[in-house]
Amino acid sequence: MTEETNVTNTATEAPLTTIARIGEHEGKTITLRGWLYNLRESGKLLFPIFRDGSGTIQGIVPKAAVAPEVFERIKGLTQESSVIVTGKVRADHRAPGGYELDVENVEVVQRVPEDTPFPISLKEHGTDFLMEHRHLWIRTPRQSAILRIRAEIIKAARDFLDDNGFILTDPPILTPAACEGTSTLFPVEYFGDEAYLTQSGQLYIESTALALGKVYSFGPTFRAEKSKTRRHLTEFWMVEPEWAYAGLDDLMGLAEQFISFIVGRVLTRRAADLKVLGRDVAKLQSIQAPFPRLSYDEAAQMLNDAHAKGLLEHPFEYGNDFGSPDETYISSQFDRPVMVHRYPAAVKAFYMEPDPENSKYALCVDVLAPEGYGEIIGGSQRISSYELLKQRIEDHQLPLEAFQWYLDLRRYGSVPHSGFGMGIERAVAWICGLEHVRETIPFARTLNRIYP
Ligand code: 4AD
Ligand code: MG
């Protein structure tokens, strides 16, 4: 069924390069290894578009310029056939990447047969169909650009923390207890006991922070989210710094530096990908510390005023956590992320330090991204008193035995300490300007999808 050639026999004189680096070879003949993304034909001219994972480039094949069998071979190519292409690089200011390829030869590694064409043709497809074919959808230029930006965001987050003295410490994935509320736990049978997939590495990195001072974790986290929203996944990746002797103000300073650094990195290193996505980069260029800071009470006041003026449909009920429309309204008032701090302790997690000025509030912060992307960071100062922490565990009806080790951190050299978690997918959605988090991760896990 398939036509294959032996890849190891395809060595040519022309140096192997990638589309991303093609500018280094202007005027020279090079080799690319990739796939056919699209093919247009116009009389005696063929315009194949190749992709190689680093980008796409248009080739030009005039009938007169190549051997007849080469012309026929390219003319017969089907979408996503794998090919090894040789051609001369030519600068062209009209080309999206600035270059075109005068194709000299194409070797077919595997030709996709006509009777089983690549399912994702260049026409529009519905989201369900695309998600069902996610393993193939990621080959399209837009999805590939998103995945490259995701990798850049992760690298930037890690570089920032590494360069600022935070030591990477990996918490376990299988855990005996809840960190972020018992309603979103994924249970796993653990040799006759019940364990859970981690919701956050926080509790564990609090202990590594007391060992190493400044630490972070980066890894997958899990929440059995029963709501279908454009911001929630059941499996997502979180980067979490934790910092001994730091208070809430230190933490907010860290968060704004961290986010500004990441956005700056993407702007400089992934400009071409942002262009593929049609992202308005002016909106990203304004992301620079310091970020506005609002207390929960100030934010609540802002929502009440907005409702009174008819700008917000539903009234905000003081004391609740903010809903999506609330977060969207608050963030729409600023051109950079806004840090909302000191929420009522009652709506936040058990481990948060109460505000010494008014214990009704927690020393916590949520960072809301601009343009309606909602919360990207959640963090807090942690309770350092043994008695208070034990009380909170009991108040939240959490199993005290499972938290004895965590209480030890307050028995032996307890200090004020703070940390936050940033959801990678939320950050990718915002920086890329995407509608939904399902496009921010190679294989999204959501309430009603676990295939492929
Ligand atoms: O606000 P959260 O629940 O905070 C924690 O888990 C803390 N223990 C973190 C810490 O202090 N070390 O989650 C942190 C971030 C959110 O701001 C959001 O970006 C992301 O994780 N997040 C999700 N992302 C995608 N899907 C979900 N279901 C998410 N839940 C949280
Ligand atoms: Mg949160």
For 388-435, the pLDDT digits (tens) are 999 999 999 999 999 999 999 999 999 999 999 999 999 999 999 999
For 239-275, the pLDDT digits (tens) are 999 999 999 999 999 999 999 999 999 999 999 999 9
Ligand 2 ion: residues within 5 Å (CB): 378
Residue 137 has pLDDT above 60, yes or no: yes
pLDDT computed for residue 298 by the predictor: 98
**Rounded distance from Cα 108 to ligand 1 centre (Å):** 46
Residue 306 has pLDDT above 60, yes or no: yes
Cβ of residue 421 lying under 6 Å from some atom of ligand 1: yes
| Residue 137, CA distances (Å) to 115, 141, 445 in order | 19, 9, 16
HEC string for 192-248? CEEEEECCCCHHHHHHHHHHHCEEEEEEEEECCCCCCCCCCCCEEEEEEEEEECCCH
Ligand lying closest to the C-alpha of residue 254:
1
Closest CA to 175 of 387, 398, 390, 24: 398
Average pLDDT value for the chain? 95
Angle at 405 between CA 401 and CA 406, to 5 degrees: 100
Cβ of residue 225 lying under 6 Å from some atom of ligand 1: yes
Residue 1 has pLDDT above 60, yes or no: no
**Rounded distance from Cα 448 to ligand 1 centre (Å):** 20
Cβ of residue 420 lying under 6 Å from some atom of ligand 1: yes
For 116-129, the pLDDT digits (tens) are 999 999 899 999 99
**Rounded distance from Cα 377 to ligand 2 centre (Å):** 7
pLDDT computed for residue 13 by the predictor: 79
426, 431, 439: which to mutate for ligand 1, most atoms within 8 A of CB?
A: 426
**Rounded distance from Cα 225 to ligand 1 centre (Å):** 12
Residue 9 has pLDDT above 60, yes or no: no
Which three-class secondary structure state does DSSP give residue 46?
A: strand
Give the ligand 1 atom nearest the CA of 379. Answer: 11
Per DSSP, what are the bridge partners of residue 380? 364, 419
Cβ of residue 171 lying under 6 Å from some atom of ligand 1: no
Q: What is the greatest pairwise CA distance in the chain?
A: 85
Residue type at 138 in one-letter notation: I
**d(C-alpha 396, C-alpha 201), whole Å:** 19
Cβ of residue 254 lying under 6 Å from some atom of ligand 1: no
| Residue 161, CA distances (Å) to 168, 215, 218, 336 in order | 8, 8, 11, 21
pLDDT computed for residue 11 by the predictor: 52
Residue 307 has pLDDT above 70, yes or no: yes
Cβ of residue 241 lying under 6 Å from some atom of ligand 1: no
Which three-class secondary structure state does DSSP give residue 58?
A: strand
**Rounded distance from Cα 55 to ligand 2 centre (Å):** 36
Give the ligand 1 atom nearest the CA of 238. Answer: 21
Give the ligand 1 atom nearest the CA of 426. Answer: 19
Cβ of residue 201 lying under 6 Å from some atom of ligand 1: no
Residue 367 has pLDDT above 50, yes or no: yes
Cβ of residue 55 lying under 6 Å from some atom of ligand 1: no
Closest C-alpha residue for ligand 1 atom 9: 421
Residue 5 has pLDDT above 60, yes or no: no
For 211-243, the pLDDT digits (tens) are 999 999 999 999 998 988 999 999 999 999 999
| Burial 285-315, CB ≥16 within 10 A → b, else e | eebeeebeebebeebbebbeebbeeeebeee
pLDDT computed for residue 12 by the predictor: 59
Angle at 266 between CA 263 and CA 269, to 5 degrees: 145
User: What pTM did the predictor assign?
Assistant: 0.95
Cβ(158)–Cβ(237) below 8 Å: no
DSSP per-residue string spanning 89-106:
EEE-TTSTTSEEEEEEEE
Residue 10 has pLDDT above 70, yes or no: no
Per DSSP, what are the bridge partners of residue 47? 40
For 69-107, the pLDDT digits (tens) are 999 999 999 999 999 999 999 999 999 899 999 999 999
Cβ of residue 376 lying under 6 Å from some atom of ligand 1: yes
**Rounded distance from Cα 113 to ligand 1 centre (Å):** 45
pLDDT computed for residue 235 by the predictor: 98
Query: Which residues, 6+ apart, have CB-to-CB distance to 373 below 8 Å?
Result: 231, 331, 426, 429, 430
For 274-304, the pLDDT digits (tens) are 999 999 999 999 999 999 999 999 999 999 9
For 166-223, the pLDDT digits (tens) are 999 999 999 998 889 889 999 999 999 999 999 999 999 999 999 999 999 999 999 9
Which domains, and CATH codes, for the chain? 3-111 (2.40.50.140), 135-440 (3.30.930.10)
Q: Which helix (H) or strand (E) holds 256?
A: helix 248-269
